[in-house]
């Protein structure tokens, strides 16, 4: 049995939002057992739990909450938190979007590791799926979670752009595997989409310092951190989006050409399965009450 964890001390990190371009400060504070992860927009006075039913916009990043009161691009920070086994955390942020930093979750991993994790007095509540749950998207995209003794993540992508092409990875996730094999992988954007994104009010904070810039056939800004950095980043995103289950997940997650919408849809399904499992386990109690009432 593993005990729930929180941060050893408060951390503050400043940076710019990838899509909003806004300079923001995020303050990560320890939280008590059972609280889970929650965001607090200190500028508008809103608290948003990091749960799948709070998911808002899912284009090019995952946001939580309603427009105007949302927190955007939460996935890299959440990924670092759950990747390292951090269960309870309050993230105060004075703007609409989590800082993008270098486009990976490595800076968050470094900060969280510096602060350290402390154990709390309650057991962690991992949810192990007992049957396969699947979500299918358009154009042959899909994601599912299968029963497994451990958390394994397998991801495959297939982009027509030759700089990316077909890539796949399969890992059993532990904090060290997460930190070494996924955390350094950076987000990426296509130069050909840049003007379109800007016109939609997105990518306002994008730069060569915070994403891999993909041209027609090459990476435009320096060398990759891994030959398959793209699929590793997609896996990093998936780990962050699955944090929206609100408790550790045990199972084999398999994703093919998925993205934030499918990731969060699976997180919602897992939450529903966990809720009905909870109901099913409580059934004998209800039955005996019903019998006693006869
Ligand atoms: Zn990402």
Q: What is the pLDDT of residues 206-252, one digit of tens each?
A: 999 999 999 999 999 999 999 999 999 999 999 999 999 999 999 99
Across the chain, mean pLDDT equals 94
Set 233, 260, 263, 278: catalytic member: 260
**What is the structure's pLDDT at 284?**
54
Residues near ion ligand 1 (CB < 5 Å) are 187, 237
Dump pLDDT digits (tens) for 141-150: 999 999 999 9
Buried b (16+ CB within 10 A) or exposed e, 212-238: bbbeeeebeeeeeebebbbbbbbbbbb
Confidence band (pLDDT; 50, 70, 90) for 54?
A: very high
- pLDDT over threshold 70, residue 83: yes
pTM above 0.85, yes or no: yes
Dump pLDDT digits (tens) for 106-119: 999 999 999 999 99
Mean pLDDT, range 43-70, rounded to an integer: 94
User: Does the domain spanning 3-292 belong to CATH 3.30.230.20?
Assistant: yes
Cβ distance 129 to 146 under 8 Å?
A: yes
In angstroms, the Cα distances linking 222 to 156, 160, 201, 211, 212 are 24, 21, 26, 11, 8
* Centre of ligand 1 from the C-alpha of residue 185, in Å: 9
Mean pLDDT, range 79-105, rounded to an integer: 98
**Tokens matching residue 15:** 């940076």
- pLDDT over threshold 80, residue 31: yes
256 carries an active-site annotation: no
* Centre of ligand 1 from the C-alpha of residue 108, in Å: 13
* Centre of ligand 1 from the C-alpha of residue 234, in Å: 7
């Amino acid at each position: 049995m593993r005990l729930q964890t929180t941060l050893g001390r408060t951390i503050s990190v400043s940076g710019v939002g990838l899509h909003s371009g806004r300079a923001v400060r995020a303050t990560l504070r320890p939280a008590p057992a059972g609280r889970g992860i929650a965001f607090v927009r200190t500028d508008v006075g809103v608290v948003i739990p990091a749960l799948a039913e709070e998911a808002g916009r899912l284009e090019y990043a995952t946001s939580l909450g309603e427009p105007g009161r949302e927190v955007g691009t939460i996935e890299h920070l959440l990924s670092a938190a759950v990747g390292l086994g951090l269960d309870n955390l309050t993230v105060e942020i004075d703007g609409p979007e989590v800082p993008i930093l270098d486009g990976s979750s490595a800076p968050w991993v470094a900060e969280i590791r510096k602060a350290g994790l402390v154990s709390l007095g309650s057991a962690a509540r991992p949810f192990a799926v007992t049957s396969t749950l699947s979500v299918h998207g358009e154009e042959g995209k899909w994601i599912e979670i299968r029963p497994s003794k451990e958390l394994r993540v397998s991801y495959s992508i297939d982009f027509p752009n030759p700089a990316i092409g077909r890539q796949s990875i399969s890992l059993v996730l532990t904090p060290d595997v997460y930190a070494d094999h996924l955390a350094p992988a950076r987000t990426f954007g296509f130069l050909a989409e840049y003007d379109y994104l800007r016109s939609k009010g997105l990518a306002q904070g994008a730069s060569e310092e915070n994403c891999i810039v993909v041209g027609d056939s090459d990476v435009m800004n320096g060398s990759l951190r891994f030959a398959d950095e793209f699929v590793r980043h997609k896996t990093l995103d998936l780990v962050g989006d699955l944090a929206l289950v609100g408790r550790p997940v045990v199972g084999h997650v398999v994703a093919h050409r998925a993205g934030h919408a499918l990731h969060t849809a699976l997180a919602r399904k897992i939450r529903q399965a966990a809720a009905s499992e909870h109901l099913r386990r409580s059934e004998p109690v209800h039955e005996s009450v019903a019998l006693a009432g006869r």
